[in-house]
Structures are given as C-alpha cells and as structure tokens.
Structure 1
Amino acid sequence: MLVFTQKLAPDLDRIPDWTIALTAEQRTKTRQHIDIPGGDRMTLCLDRGVNISEGDRLISETGDKVVAIVAQPEPVITVTAQTNLDLIRAAYHLGNRHVPLEITSQYLRLEPDGVLADLLIKLGCHVTQEIAPFYPDRGAYHGHDH
C-alpha cells in the first residue's frame, strides 16, 4: 500500500501520478485510507495539524509517487441575501452554532441541514441546495473545545 507522508513543495514541478477528489471533511483528516484510480488504496499519514487544500500535491514516503488534491463536489446549502448586512447576520448566527462555513462576499455555504435552512429563510436569506466544492473557513481556533 502506498503511504503519503508530506506535501510536495510548491516549487517542485512534479507531475502527479493521480488526482484524487476529497470532500471538505476528508481534507481535514491527516490520517486516513483513500481509494485511488485503478482500484488501489493509499494511506495518508501526514503530521498532525497539516492542512490539506485543493491544489496541494502529496508525495509518497518512498518519494516516487505524487498525488494531486482537488475538492470533491458535495451536497451543500448556498446562502445569498439581498444585502450584505443580511449575509453578515446569517454568518453570525451560523458561527454561534459552530457550523463549518464557507464565507465569501457573495454567498455563504454550509453542509445540508434543514433546521438551519429554515432559520436562514426566516432571516430573509435565499437558500439553494446544490452540489458544489465546499471550502469551509478553517477559523482562527480550529480544533478547540468549549
């Protein structure tokens, strides 16, 4: 089984042997088994705290294989609003609930949740369920507990 242990430096111009699509949740895990094209499996064994992002390339422990990471489209709720204030208010309420959230100036994006969708509609937002890549903000204190 192939074991990938570190990110490839951005300045090293290695063509990937595979490209794998990972969900937002999978991109937060530094240790996991992943199916790769051709029916094989790889083990991801990165140091704790390493962030995996779209565009990253990982190198195997033997140095002979490279895998490129892309974001897997997944079910999401995309939230838009008539005004920036309404969008900010929605982000505030979702943040109070510690919801993984993608924040842009045009929309918010979160994992599907009917209760939160109803809340957002009551706040005057427009809610659309779709399949799209999800890039939640990692936050300043990711991994903390209350």
Structure 2
Amino acid sequence: MDLPACRDIRRTGHWSEADDRVTLSYDDRFLRRKRLITVQDKAFLVDLAHTTSLEHGDAFQLEDGRLIECIAADEDLLEVTGPDLTRLAWHIGNRHTPCQIEENRLLIQRDHVIQDMLSQIGATLREVVEPFTPEGGAYGHGRTHGHAH
C-alpha cells in the first residue's frame, strides 16, 4: 500500500486547520525522508527535496491536500538560570549547543558535560520536561549545515 506523501511544508501562520497531528522531538524535526505516524495512528511519508528543520506549529502538506500539524514533543531538558544569563548563554553558544532563550531562563538538552561546565561557572540548573524549541541558526531558518551567505 502506498503511503500518502508530503513534499511540502507549510510554516506556522501560513495555514489554518490541521487534519491530524504528529508529535516530534527537536532532533526528529530535522528531516528529509522519513515515515511518520500521526496521533490518529495514520502513516505518511515525508519526502522533501532538502533536509528541513520544522518548528512547532508548522504543517506537513500531503499530496492529497491534508495538513498534518507538527507538535514539539516533551523532552528531558535542563533549565539554566543565574545572575548573568548573557554570560551563560555565551558559554552554551560557544559549544554550539542548541538553546531555547527566554527572558529569565535558558533551556538546553540534558548533557552531563555541559551541565558540569555550567555548574562550575555559577549557573543554577534544574531538570525539566517540556517542549524544546531552540533558536534557529543565524544563516537561515532553523538549523543549518554551514555558513554560506
């Protein structure tokens, strides 16, 4: 049986109503070709021209016209706070670690090496479980593979 295919992504704000949803982790939202299962237990094939970074609220446009909303899954994260959040963010970025930047906290994926480094420079750390939507790359939408301009 042929699976319905997705060859196009609709970005948040450029579509209206989803026919179904799929919940994906941050790492799983970076894809080109993959079989996915929706929350209604329906399979479809993502077959994009290029590897693409999806954000929470984007939608897979199936060839038959249906829209499958992409939901950011709850993940094991590390909440980073402290008196000098800018300095902590610099150290995280210097290690090319994906980081969700909020007004009073940073969120990163759990990593004991980064956790130890942040502890040593005065961060307050707390393990949390919630969706992870880090900042995109400076050179394009979402994650990028290089510094081409």
Please say whether Structure 1 and Structure 2 have the same fold, judged by a TM-score greater than 0.5.
yes
Contact 2:5 / 2:47 at 8 angstroms: preserved in 1? yes
1:71 is aligned to 72
State the partner residue of 1:29.
31
Question: Aligned residue pairs: how many?
Answer: 140
Counterpart AA for 2:128 = E
Q: Can you give the 5+ residue segments of structure 1 that lack an aligned partner in the other structure?
A: none
> Between the two proteins, what is the percent identity of the paired residues?
26
Could you tell me whether the CA contact under 8 Å between 2:23 and 2:38 is conserved in 1? Answer: no
Which secondary structure state, in structure 2, belongs to the residue aligned with residue 48 of structure 1? strand
Q: CA-to-partner distance for each residue in 1:47-84, whole Å, 9 max, x for gaps? A: 32544211122211232x22111110111111011x2x
In structure 2, the residue matched to 1:17 is 19
Which residue matches 1:60? 62
Q: Deviations over 1:11-68 (max 9, x none)?
A: 553x3221111111122223222122344321112332544211122211232x2211
Post-superposition Cα deviations, 1:79-134, rounded to whole Å, max 9, x if no partner, equal: 011x2xx2111111111111111122211111111121111111111111111100
1:101 to 89, 99, 103: 99
- Note the C-alpha offset of 1:8: 3.6
Which ranges in structure 2 are unaligned for 5 or more consecutive residues? none
Distance in 1, matches of 2:4 and 2:79, equals 36
Change (3 A) 1:79 1:60: same
Query: Which deviates further from its counterpart, 42-51 or 117-126?
Result: 42-51
Equivalent AA in structure 2 for residue 93 of structure 1: H
Q: Which moved more, 1:135-144 or 1:1-10?
A: 1-10
In 2, Cα distance between equivalents of 1:121 and 1:90: 10
Report the counterpart of residue 122 of structure 2 in structure 1: 124
Determine the structure 2 residue equivalent to 1:133: 131
Give the stretch that moved more between structures: 38-47 or 99-108: 38-47
Q: Is 2:6–2:61's contact at 8 Å kept on the other side of the alignment?
A: yes
Paired AA for residue 77 in structure 1: L
- Aligned 8 A contact 2:58 2:69 in 1: yes
